[in-house]
Amino acid sequence: MLTKAVVFILFLLSVSRCGTSWQSYDAIYNLGDSISDTGNLCTGGCPSWLTMGQPPYGSSYFGRPTGRCSDGRVVVDFLAQFFGLPLLPPSKSKTNGTDLGKGANMAIIGATAMNLDFFLSHGLGSSIWNNGPLDTQIQWFQQLMPSICGGDCRSHLSKSLFILGEFGGNDYNAPIFGGKSLDEVYTYVPHIINKITSGVETLIGLGAVDVVVPGVLPIGCFPLYLTLYGSSNQSDYDGDGCLQRFNDLSRYHNRLLRQGICRLRSKYASVRLMYGDFYTQVAEMVRSPRSFGLEYGLNVCCGASGQGSYNYNNKARCGMSGSSACKDPENYLNWDGIHLTEAAYRSIAYGWLTGPYCVPAILH
């Protein structure tokens, strides 16, 4: 029986032999949060307090923690490998000889779309622990540009793939975990969408031509939310066992984001804007994991084995004392309660490259 990794490699080879009508890129530049961070908090060694910097993170591919919030690679890693590019180095890396002309990753764990002053104005300053929001990541990218492309940036960036997001997950985690009502959280969504679309426009102004803008994931399907906000009322859950009220928030965000992308498409006709549909694919993976080569949709691979309904305990999270990892992460969708496994990210990368989970698909 072919492994998922072998199937993916065969897919890459088959596509590469289908002629030259599909898109290729000279570099990939990524901005985002823990869904796509490749180690910006671990460039000088992972700090001891960072659970994602402890084993068994990274065990499936790298053999050690790298700062990625997974057992192995994340979506941008698979995209880079598909296009024959090196894995994206963290933008904060001081490694000599890193070729930023082939890609760099500004994403950082805990990142938000909104700046700190937004959260301070809503009494949520204590909920934001990492000052690496979207505006700051764009500044990091601009600071790297002389190293990336010298004096011919527009030409280089026009042949690069940009991924902006997902952003929004931490913008909603902060007020929800901070005790704000969902009614109030809904009022934040237009501001968050405006910040994301403004970030896209800034990248376009710098020379970006191909940009993937992912939506947020179905947070009501995360074991973290299911454990902290579980209900005895079955009507609070959808048919897949996810909390409907939180997924409604994710869908609202994604609906406004798609509308914002449509407005940008009308304004920038020469720019190719792609909506990365995390929500639909992850929801389908929860509903029918075997359709994606998985066995488990809601259970956590790395967590408090045997505890609760999902193997999740907030006081024994992956990387903490009292947690353990399953022996077969390739069969799981969920790695640690809020992030996905390498196997899931591989499938998402495939869905973005060829569709239908990226609109339009990256390859064309």
Structure token pair of residue 248:
């409604």
CB atoms within 10 A of CB 13: 10
Q: At what angle do helices 4-16 and 342-354 cross, to 10 degrees?
A: 20
Length of the chain, please? 364
What angle is formed at CA 75 by the lines to CA 49 and CA 93, rounded to 5 degrees?
Answer: 50
| Cis check: omega of the bond before 166, within 30 degrees of 0 | yes
Residues with active-site annotation: 34, 336, 339
Q: Residue 165: left if φ>0, alpha if ψ -120 to 50, beta else—which one?
A: left
Tell me the sheet residues that pair with 160. Answer: 27
CA gap 79, 364 in Å, rounded: 15
Structure token pair of residue 19:
């002629």
Coil, strand or helix: which one is 285? helix
What angle is formed at CA 192 by the lines to CA 188 and CA 197, rounded to 5 degrees?
Answer: 150
CA gap 333, 122 in Å, rounded: 34
DSSP 8-state symbol, 83: T
Query: For 74-228, where are the alpha helices, taking DSSP H only?
Result: 75-82, 116-121, 134-149, 153-157, 169-177, 182-206, 223-228
Q: At what angle do helices 182-206 and 134-149 cross, to 10 degrees?
A: 20
CA gap 348, 359 in Å, rounded: 13
Instruction: Report yes or no: 209 and 273 within 8 Å, Cβ to Cβ.
Output: no
Helix (H) or strand (E) holding 213: strand 210-214
What is the amino acid identity at position 265?
R
